[in-house]
Structure 1
């Protein structure tokens, strides 16, 4: 049972490969544009890994890489360029497919095809991915009286591929700014930004900007949650200002601002220790009482995405199945949380409390 990892020596793919190799899950194929980089990682991983040159613009190259594999794990990006290229090759090869990104555009494309007799799991990373999975560990018996508060962010590097995906993540396929989930729907204009605020676990003088992702709205709809509030957290105004400027000045091709976005993240890191934080809290709507909390912190969100991708590939190998799903519908939330708590890169905290209402 072979796992083929495309983009296998990148920031996310290498982390996934190291996890899979350490657990001796199965033989690994490490693929990408540069054979030397793939071979260097394979030398580190040991005899069970082989290096392959793969050109995403050449369908025959992608097909040859996927042929004979049991699971194809795509960690290549940017996702708007990859789209369904690798997923279709995995289908043709009869392999399960896991994509660390993909989001709703890929999910929609795959679900428009005839149903697959193999698994296709998208959004198996951090955001989307863990940002939906962690809140699911907090759900109780009465979701209609539950409010989930989700804060995500912190000072971290942004790779060139990620910068392009972030800049293109606008519009209803991705989320709604200044919105909450309430009364069974996305409610635009019901949340306000908090500039220069203090947030536990994020620090003083941070900026919490409301943005309800499509993924979060989906879990709220699926589970009948009463209310959800979601904020992206930044340690300075550099990144949100760069994003706003790019979207206003270059609406047709905001990816031309990828360098500026990456530079903004680097400037933040010059003043702050790297730390990516996901804080999910559950509150009782009638009383406002804090019922439970999940806190996850890591220095590098790309390594964290690699861990989630590896967990998803392992689950596909172990359980099989069929159909096309986002990771939060496929992975068991509590098993995923347990894996995170035992991984040395993760700092986790669980709290159940009867704190005062907020």
Structure 2
């Protein structure tokens, strides 16, 4: 199994570099790393001499075909994902390879279709989407109300900024909405100002936004209610996003740099942090909760991509097209995250008040 070739696209960025390192740590020693600037991989190849650095451009079909050729699995860590859609997945399928995408969402899955031959395709294998739909399954049960807060203050890559700007419309979610009584309840929540959710080191502004991933989670688990909030350390990013979405879509790319600068401004007075917290509120007694903290959500997405790739290679996922949160084992992933140095803490508290995990 370890001698099967894995091709990691976007392997010179933060997400891809981390995915490559974790795959090597899992014992996979045949890895082809691709991107438009192989010189960025020199440090990686110095640390991991067995990997192969190569040039590939997603916009050049022959280049992409050559990159995927001979691979048993293609891992896509490139972005922006909403421009790529199913382009890399189809190249992997033509090469007879399995496929893992650290991002992708309903638009990518719809473009690809529901089948992938006798192979596996997994989308949304990152932190968000990905862990945000997977880890809450460890504490939530039918009939529960589930509250999720995600966010903090971290740097933002241009690809991530582009994805945020493109993530509009019903395929991605709905602002001010929650899941309640088996359906999306539109405009039923308001922003939370100067709140401090569990696990957050400071007060934040929490903006309600129900992602399609969370709506799918609530429907699958038959939750009574699900509330999802994106947490911001300041108004810098929300203000920039409001300006971008109010402007003519023709000029949306102009806001990529403004978003990255807004993220930088949040880090002038604080160390980087990113928190995912999920809680089952109760009126009496201890509640079930889960809190994950990291300083780098991009690299942690690379960890999740590598864990997903390992699950595919170990044939733990059936052939077909899937979202990661629906096919990964949450307990297995949580156990792996407990051991990973990029996770500053991961704690899970059950209704009896007992806590498991690394504080």
3-state SS of paired residue (1:303): helix
State the alpha-carbon separation in 1 of the partners of residues 16 and 257 from structure 2.
22
**C-alpha RMSD over aligned residues:** 1.6
Q: How does 1:67-78 map to 2 (within 5 A)?
A: 67-78=69-80
1:171-224 CA-to-partner distances (Å, cap 9, x unmatched) read 111111111100100101111101122333223431011011010001111221
TM-score (norm 2): 0.93
Displacement of 1:288 after TM fit? 6.6
| C-alpha separation in 2, matches of 1:206 and 1:289 | 26
1:253, distance to aligned residue in structure 2 (A): 4.3
The answer for the alignment partner of 1:81 in structure 2 is: 83
Residue 4 to residue 288, structure 1, CA distance change in 2 (3 Å): farther
Between the aligned partners of 1:198 and 1:6, the Cα distance in structure 2 is 38
Give the alignment of 1:122-133 within 5 angstroms.
Answer: 122-133=123-134
Separation in structure 1 between the aligned mates of residue 213 and residue 8 of structure 2, nearest angstrom: 25
SS at 1:291 equivalent: coil
* 2:356 matched residue in structure 1: none
What is residue 105 of structure 1 aligned with on the other side? 107
1:330 is aligned to 2:331: no
- 2:3 maps to 1:7: no
Question: 1:40-119 to 2 correspondence within 5 Å?
Answer: 40-47=43-50, 49-111=51-113, 115-119=116-120
Is 1:296 aligned with 2:292?
Answer: yes
Deviation at 1:263, TM superposition (A): 0.2
Contact 1:157 / 1:266 at 8 angstroms: preserved in 2? yes
The answer on 1:348 being equivalent to 2:351 is: no
Taking a change above 3 Å as real, the CA distance of residues 2 and 291 of structure 1, as seen in their structure-2 partners, is same
Pairs within 5 Å for 1:253-332: 253-283=251-281, 287=283, 290-319=286-315, 321-332=318-329
CA distance in 1, matches of 2:195, 2:221: 31
Distance 1:328 1:178 in 2: 23
What is residue 224 of structure 1 aligned with on the other side?
222
Cα pair distance change 1:288/1:163, threshold 3 Å: farther
Decide whether aligned partners of structure 1 residues 131 and 196 sit closer, same or farther in structure 2, where only a CA change above 3 A counts.
same
In 2, Cα distance between the equivalents of 1:24 and 1:138?
31
Tell me, yes or no, if the aligned pair for 1:116 and 1:324 is still in contact at 8 Å: no
Q: Is the 8 A contact 2:57 2:64 kept in 1?
A: yes
Specify the alignment match of 1:198 in structure 2: 196
Deviation at 1:344, TM superposition (A): 1.6
- Kept in 1: contact 2:9–2:76 (CA 8 A): yes
1:180 corresponds to: 178
The C-alpha deviation readout for 1:272-309, integer Å capped at 9, x for no partner, is 1101100011235xx57653111100010011000000
Mapped contact 2:15–2:298 kept (Cα < 8 A): yes
How many angstroms does 1:354 deviate by?
Answer: 6.2
Confirm or deny: 8 A CA contact 1:206 1:234 kept in the other structure.
yes
